[in-house]
Structure 1
Amino acid sequence: MTTPPLVYLVAAERSGELLGADLIRSLRKARGDSIAFAGVGGAAMAAEGVPSAVDIDGLAIIGWIDGLLAWRRVKERVALTVADILERKPDVVVLIDSWGFMLRVAQGVRAADPSIKLIKYVGPQVFATRPGRAKTLAATVDHLLSIVSFDAPYYTEFGLPVTFVGNPTLERMPVGDGAAFRARHELPSDAELMLVLFGSRPSEIRRMYDVLVRALARVLAHRPALRLVIVLAEPVKDVVREKLAAETRLPDNLIIVEEAEKGDAFAAVDLALATSGTVITELATTGVPTVAAYRLGWITWALIRLLNVMKSPYTTLVNMASDSNLVLEHVQTRCTAGRLSASMEGLLEAPQRRLEIGQALRQATDDMRGEGRASDRAAEVVLQYLPDA
């Protein structure tokens, strides 16, 4: 009996494993059960029948200092992942996002068994910061699947094949039913709703929860009728629920929902306050005017400023792609309760401006989507590296 080709996927955080789950579905659609899968990931990939060979808890890391603090844990998980890949000897390994972790896995596999093909899915944002990573990646993997249309030249210069597939995040969000959401939660059709997303990484909750709550409390002091809709990201939902249960600065009538209701919640709200990340792109696809906030560790931030690492004036992908401040960004020193609340109140007081921003966000993400079918296009590339593809 012929052994089916094996695709091994590695994802170290929530946004990456969602891409992995999408890719698994597309590969199965193309080749049925004639492909075997294994990998490292979380609940979304496990739901597709690919349980994780390595625990990814604690690997969602942003910033140099957090990386140093987690170095022993990361090194251990890298070694376990490389060992599992070498034992299974897949035909192709797809390394999804998470630059530092995936680079170390790729280097470990390449050094031990150069015959295993390596595909990086989502490149580091070399158009915004640290362009030298393009050369490093080109020396390490066989192909890059890019989710943005304008970064290919950075990599092809060093001989790395690049395929722009588009961003599956732009296709993943269902058309939500805002009216149904309001009905389910007994909210009047004219109730003013603010969506709140605290983040999906434990480090984001530690850094962002308090400043976001203080900003919300300021807005509520002026607009007591405003209702808050809080969507809990799966990896941190228990931590956030616990914090909210003990919270005294916010009203008791919070609407707290899990990711299954995200699409309907997005369709129901007037505005969002969100920790910057993949969710900002999701909000943009549905035209939700958004105030985005982010804080790195202060030492990491100081190093970024000292070394002039950031090359783009923007931090969110939507703003980079549109070269405009459609998403109101508040990063590090500008991420204060006063600045955040002022941005929120400014938008709440300007319904016409919100409408215009929403339309511009939809247009920007339409332009970013490319030809669509991002996961199917990614699957087509992966299939090229499999026998009998």
Structure 2
Amino acid sequence: MSVESPVIMLVAGEPSGDDRGAGLARALRAGLGADLKLIGVGGPRMAEAGVTSLFDMSEISVFGLLEGLLAIPRVRRRALEVARAAAREGADLVVLIDSWGFSWLAARALRRLAPGVRLVKYVAPQVWATRPGRARALAGLVDHLLVINSFEPPYFEAWGLPTTFVGNPALHMDFSSCDPAAFRARHGIGVQAPVLLVLPGSRPGEVDRLLGPFEDAIRRLKADHPGLQVVLPVADAVADRVRAAVAGWPFRVHVVDGEQEKREAMKASDLALACSGTVTLEVAQAGVPMVVAYRLGAVTYFVAKFLIRTPWVVLFNIAARRFVAPELIQEDCTGPRLAAQLDRRLRDPAFRRAQVAAQDAALDKMGRGGPDPSEAAAQVILKMLSGDQPRLSSGT
């Protein structure tokens, strides 16, 4: 294989993966030049970074047991399409980003239909929290694993899988160009008005399950804090869904879209109500205290209760080994309980400052300030393309 004009496939199935894929695409382009051909599956950010997508990423963005079962035929077809495209285009290397279910199916199909391609998994399954058997399964499928948490390599190296800690891109958000005062002025928000940042998720299921209790919580808050302003940065994948829902809320919501607007909204906010996920790390970096919420489908939650082995969901809580930010999950995710946690923080600036300091300490423990993750990941891939690491001898 020559690396003079390589073909690399990047496959992402959700917005956080789209962000990681975009950063990796730019880093690979910087290292390999204009001759690099980037194909795969992604969203708008990967498209901006020059990745030609085979199909819309939303077709494989599923979460939850029932939703996943219903999507199996479609997801299998798309996994085969990825493998066939890799074989047809002569891909030298495929990077499967996050999305464990689809990555698993795609990797198996790639081993059958494109046996010569090198496979890299970017972002590990959370075997430290649930389903430890996935470490062994992954070791039999891919050539290298790129992990975003410093404590993860031993779980996979124990099964002989070469693993590199590259850092979490969410810990490297650049807020230097943000102007909170300009954001407030642009949206008619007073300088002294308290601002609540609302982040209901980036998947349709998340939005559908969280917007109800979020609306209830905010309505209760505004009864005691009438000057409270609500800002909601909307993810591309659920923009229409969210806009239609909040249009019927009995109070004004400043809905904003775009990456720069989202970052400026974070910096302009005093407090956040956030869906559990990557966005919690972004909000923490912006220096905003938060209350974290999540709801699963009833069947998925029933199964998850028997599988999850950690008391925490939020990554910086896991790093701190305590509830730095409160997590209101499932039956605790109600309007009154969310409102109570938010109200305590709105009324007590010292309490907010203490939470921000604890969030900062946890982020530092997670590796904030280290090398750029996209560049670190690209360096591993460049070494693999040059033959520094042998291929997996056989797949399953």
Q: TM-score range by the shorter chain?
A: over 0.9
In the other structure, the counterpart of 2:393 is none
Count of residue pairs the alignment pairs up: 384
Give 1:388 deviation, angstroms: 7.7
Give the equivalent residue in structure 1 for 2:325: 327
Q: Which runs of 5+ in 2 are unaligned?
A: 389-396
Match of 2:102 in 1: 101
Residues 146-172 of structure 1 deviation map (CA, whole Å, 9 limit, x = unaligned):
000001111000000000000011113
Q: CA RMSD in A?
A: 1.7
SS of the residue 1:52 aligns to: strand
315, 318, 332: which one pairs with 2:316? 318
The one-letter code sitting in structure 2 at the alignment partner of 1:365 is L
Partner of 1:280: 280
Residue 369 of structure 1: aligned partner? 367
In structure 1, how many angstroms separate the alpha carbons of the residues matched to 2:387 and 2:143?
19
- In structure 1, the partner of 2:266 is 266
Report Cα offsets for 1:243-287 as digits up to 9, x if no partner: 122x14x313x2221133011111111100111111111111112
Equivalence map 1:1-389=2 (5 Å): 4-175=5-176, 176-245=178-247, 247-248=248-249, 250-252=250-252, 254-259=253-258, 260-305=260-305, 308-369=306-367, 371-387=370-386
Work out the CA distance in 1 between the residues paired with 2:56 and 2:235: 18
Shift of 1:207: 1.1
Partners of 2:165 and 2:4 lie apart in 1 by 31
Give yes or no for contact 1:286–1:362 (8 Å, CA) kept in 2. no
Amino acid at match of 2:243: R
- Helix, strand or coil at the partner of 2:58: coil
Deviations 1:354-382 (A, max 9, x none): 01111221232123135221110000001
Identity fraction in percent: 42
SS at 1:196's partner residue? strand
Indicate the SS of the match to 1:379. Answer: helix
Alpha-carbon distance in 1 for matches of 2:174, 2:326: 21
**DSSP 3-state at the match of 2:324:** coil
1:59, distance to aligned residue in structure 2 (A): 2.1
Rounded to whole Å, the distance in 2 between the matches of 1:240 and 1:131 is 35
Amino acid aligned to 2:371: G
* SS in structure 2 at match of 1:93: strand
Please report the TM-score for the alignment, with normalisation by the length of structure 1.
0.95
Distance (whole Å) between structure 2 residues aligned to residue 155 and residue 312 of structure 1: 18
Q: CA deviation at 1:111?
A: 2.4
Unaligned runs of 5+ in 1: none
Cα deviation, residue 30, structure 1:
2.0
Aligned amino acid, residue 310 of structure 1? I
**How far apart, in 2, do the equivalents of 1:209 and 1:153 lie?**
38
Q: Distance in 1 between matches of 2:97 and 2:3?
A: 28
CA contact (8 A) 1:287 1:357 kept: no
What's the offset of the Cα at 1:33?
Answer: 1.8
In the TM superposition, residue 79 of structure 1 has moved relative to its aligned partner by 1.8
Q: Distance in 2 between matches of 1:234 and 1:364?
A: 29
Distance 2:35 2:74 in 1: 35
Tell me the residue number matched to 2:394.
Answer: none
